[in-house]
A = this chain, B = another copy of it.
Amino acid sequence: MNTKRFDEGLKKLKEIDGKAGEKVIESLASIAPDLAKYTIEFPFGDIYQRSGLNLKTRELVTISALTASGNCQPQLNVHINGALNVGCKPIEITEVIIQMAVYAGFPASLNGMFVAKEVVNSYSKCITSESS
């Protein structure tokens, strides 16, 4: 039986990235299903539910932290996709990543941008093919 935090978290995560929630549940099912549960409950059932900051800003500050950390490419991928889904423009995302050259150095910024390039490209193609 799921907690209310889990159900609300999964719904929120679906709003951000349609498939990321199911993917994390599936990929952890055989090794540590509870980590999937926590990943949905705490970040998305607690934090992303909060008022005080809109979803677009939440995604942008996540992108800056993940770019600066430099070793979370899979999560950066999910959240750039999520940012686009909740209405961020590509230029807002790339501006955040460019700014990280100041705070985390050029390698972190460049490597973050290469992730953005891939996600934004797939996203555009996906939208183009959907609408054709």
Contact = CB atoms under 8 A, between A and B. Distances in A.
Contacts of A121: 30-31
A121 B28 CA distance: 12
A109 B102 CA distance: 11
A54 to B, nearest CB: 10
A65 B111 contact: no
A58 B99 contact: yes
A92 interface: yes
Given A103-B106, A113-B28, A113-B31, A65 B62 contact: no
A66 B32 CA distance: 18
Interface in A52-86: 52-53, 57-58, 60-72, 74-75
Interface in A1-34: 24, 27-28, 30-32, 34
Interface of A: 24, 27-28, 30-32, 34-35, 38-39, 42-43, 46-47, 50, 52-53, 57-58, 60-72, 74-75, 90-92, 94-111, 113-114, 116-117, 120-121
10 contacts: A32-B116, A35-B109, A35-B113, A39-B106, A42-B101, A52-B92, A52-B95, A61-B61, A68-B68, A74-B110
